[in-house]
Structure 1
Amino acid sequence: MTITRRLLIGALATPALLGRANAQAIRLRFAHPHPDSDSWNRASRIFAQMVNDRSQGTLNVQVFGNGVLGSDPTTIAAARGGSLDIVLTGNPYFTGLAPKLNVLDLPFLFKDRRHVTAVLDGPIGQELRGDLDGSNLHVLGFWDIGFRNLTNSRRAISAPADLRGLKIRTTPNPAHIKAFQLLGANPVPMPFTELFTALETRTVDGQENPTTLILNARFYEVQRHVSITRHAYTAGILAVGKQRWDSLTPAQRDILQSVANEVTPQQRAMNEDAEASSLAELKAKGMEAVEHPDREAFARVVTEEVRRDFASRYGTALPDAIDAAGA
């Protein structure tokens, strides 16, 4: 066989070999609702690159942010049903599947982010993760949304009485809804993907989210007032659909979990680092800030009653354990 013929056969064989290698790659679609500038998008792309690299291309993670694959409930349902591989969205949207997760959204529960980390990365977090196993989801970790603050287009909020009559978008979480009812507001649950339009059209007067997300979602364009109430903390849940998880090899599962373990603290740090500067930027963009509202007054109205409501359904063990973790 001549050298030319050998080279020609090699050239013809190479695409076939590459085709077989590419056929072995597993595409993992990863959806989240936050904007491109948010830490969720930046961290999810780091996650994707690390998984792709460590699997040597056999796992190909593709990130779809900004809600392009659907709302929070839609993407959770898709992951559970097997038409989506990885979902990241707020803890409140999972509480219908695992009601005890609602404990994480109780108002004024966490002292600070150290307290959050002790709970989410410790035995309590592990127990709560396990509660979703029966819902066709495998939890890889808890990411950070942060401490929630109020915005609205009507007036400054310094005390509970200022909220009376305002239509405030909340998550569908029972703790969030109950808290705003107690404060005299009209809570309106809706997916995050619908929120900007609802604020722009005055379907709702306001909403509550961390300053980082208020900035990244450009809510300053349709909201005038922000109050640093820090009335609740919200975690994000990073989960793989159980159907996809079970289809992977043990080595591939180890890659996903180990990368999640590494990226999770990076994502949380991104949010923590950006918290102070995001408030300054919101003010620079024209928002009027109440930086020191009467948080104790808000806490007096909501804390005991919302906890009592949770305890009537699920007991006091979980909130008591969370309190102890922050002692």
Structure 2
Amino acid sequence: MTNITRRTAIGASLAAPFISNSAYAQGVRLRLAHPHPESDSWEKATRLFAEQLKERTGGAVTVQVFGNGVLGSDQTIIASARSGTLDIALTGNPFFTGMAPKLNALDLPFLFRDRRHVAVVLDGEIGNSLRTELEPHGLHVLGFWDIGFRNITNSRRAVNAPADLRGLKIRTTPNPAHIKTFQLLGANPAPLPFTELFTALETRAVDGQENPTTLIRNARFWEVQKHLSLTRHAYTAGILAMSRRRFDALPAAQQEAVMAVAAAITPQQRQMNESADADALSDLKSHGMAVVETPDRDAMAALVAEPVRREFAERFGSALPDAIAGAAA
């Protein structure tokens, strides 16, 4: 079954005390959309978010989840939330950087050491300051979710070192850091929405792509890609963001409930992805993918880390990437 066919189908109690129905006099139904497959942690976590929000509000606030890109591409989901025609958008940080370019700092190559480092940054003062970058654009950030550390797949050859990427057409996000990284590595970056990626790989419109192993497995890219290289060249966060207009229209008790449930689900979603990493890699191997487990990351980092970071610093200064790099985990 192709990804197009699959995409046609629409598809823990909180520690905080239960608040009585009287605090939620006006019932509300929220619509949430994301582009990831139904088997992905985003689908599981958004449905858990819906269940717990309904429980916390005694049924006054319900959430309808639309996954697998059925409501449109990454950019469409964001635009719909900004306009208020969609209540909650969940997609990758790189797709927000066009309107809030400081968020591009989170996508700089070889910046995050591990997920503990990520949590310190996103859940602390740095993450709180970055949340405000989307407020002027009509979005209220509910949480930074996990996509993970990105790895390279392609249909042509094993990637052990930078030279092996030369000439390969690699799908990236539209994020400037991702594009610049692959240009410096000698590849031809081709930005595409995630919802179009499977077909682009299947038709050989692009040779490869870069995503975490969990998403490579859940999107069934092993059907159309032969080679996987565990480069872990960049970390990618997902942003769970609500329409500012819709959030402001909620009663205070409902706003509090939305924020509290999002805060509770965020670490659970991250843990889902972290726990699934090893199984995802094993599954990809079992489906015949040839895996380079120890590519020359040092050589790749030497080519891209400082130039891409310097390009960011020329526009926004070095304080933000320096703070991220220096955050203690």
The answer, yes or no, to whether TM exceeds 0.5 is yes
Deviates further, 279-288 or 51-60? 51-60
Distance 2:121 2:168 in 1: 33
Task: List aligned pairs for 1:42-61, cutoff 5 A.
Answer: 42-61=44-63
Name structure 1 gaps, 5 residues minimum: 1-22
TM-score (norm. length: structure 2): 0.92
- Spell out the pairing of 1:33-48 with structure 2 (5 A cutoff): 33-48=35-50
2:241 to 230, 239, 242: 239
Query: Which residue of structure 2 lines up, in the alignment, with residue 303 of structure 1?
Result: 305
| Among candidates 72, 94, 97, match of residue 95 of structure 1 | 97
Contact persistence 1:28–1:59 (CA under 8 A):
yes
In the alignment, the residues of structure 1 paired with residue 326 and residue 233 of structure 2 have an alpha-carbon distance, to the nearest angstrom, of 19
Q: Give 1:272 deviation, angstroms.
A: 0.3
2:307 maps to a residue whose letter is: E
Q: 2:255 aligns with which of 253, 259, 265?
A: 253
Deviation at 1:198, TM superposition (A): 0.2
What is the aligned partner in structure 1 of residue 109 from structure 2? 107
Distance (Å, rounded) in 2 between the aligned partners of 1:167 and 1:326: 36
How far has the Cα of 1:24 moved from its partner? 4.4
Matched residues in 2 for 1:157 and 1:326: separation? 32
Deviation at 1:60, TM superposition (A): 1.2
> Are the equivalent residues in 2 in contact too, given 1:111–1:326 (CA < 8 A)?
no
Asked if 1:26 is matched to 2:9, the reply is: no
Q: Partner of 1:219 in structure 2?
A: 221
Per-residue CA distance 1:233-286 (angstroms, 9 max, x = gap): 000000000110011011001100000010000000000001011111100000
Output aligned runs, 1:1-327, within 5 Å. 24-326=26-328
User: TM-score scaled by structure 1?
Assistant: 0.92
Report if aligned partners of 1:110, 1:326 keep a CA contact under 8 Å in 2. Answer: no
User: Amino acid of the residue matched to residue 84 of structure 1?
Assistant: L
Structure 1 contact 139–240 (Cα < 8 Å) conserved: yes
**Aligned letter for 1:119?**
V
Alignment gaps of 5+ in structure 2:
1-24
**2:120 counterpart SS class:** helix
Structure 1 CA distance for aligned equivalents of residues 249 and 138 of structure 2: 13
> Does structure 2 conserve the Cα–Cα contact (< 8 Å) formed by 1:227 and 1:289?
yes
Q: Distance in 2 between matches of 1:298 and 1:82?
A: 42
Alpha-carbon separation, structure 1, partners of 2:193 and 2:204: 16
TM-superposed deviation, 1:193: 0.3
| Distance of 2:220 and 2:41 partners within structure 1 | 14
TM-superposed CA distance for 1:56, in Å, is 1.3
Deviations 1:111-137 (A, max 9, x none): 000000000000000000011110000
Give distance in 1, aligned partners of 2:310 and 2:160.
26
- TM-fit CA distance, 1:27: 1.2
How far apart, CA to CA, are the structure 1 residues paired with 2:66 and 2:205? 27
Residue 120 to residue 247, structure 1, CA distance change in 2 (3 Å):
same
- CA distance in 1 between counterparts of 2:292 and 2:178 reads 21
Q: Distance in 2 between matches of 1:35 and 1:128?
A: 27
Q: How far does residue 326 in structure 1 lie from its aligned partner after superposition?
A: 3.5
RMSD of Structure 2 on Structure 1 (CA): 0.9
Q: Which has the larger radius of gyration?
A: 1
Please give the per-residue CA displacement for 1:127-160, whole angstroms capped at 9, x wherever unaligned: 0001111000000000000000000000000000
Cross-structure match for 1:7: none
Percent identical pairs in the alignment equals 70
> Structure 1 runs of 4+ off > 6 angstroms?
none
Q: What are the Cα deviations for residues 268-321 of structure 1, in whole angstroms up to 9, with x where unaligned?
A: 000000101111110000000000000000000100100110000000000110
| Alpha-carbon separation, structure 2, partners of 1:301 and 1:290 | 20
User: Secondary structure of 1:131's partner?
Assistant: helix
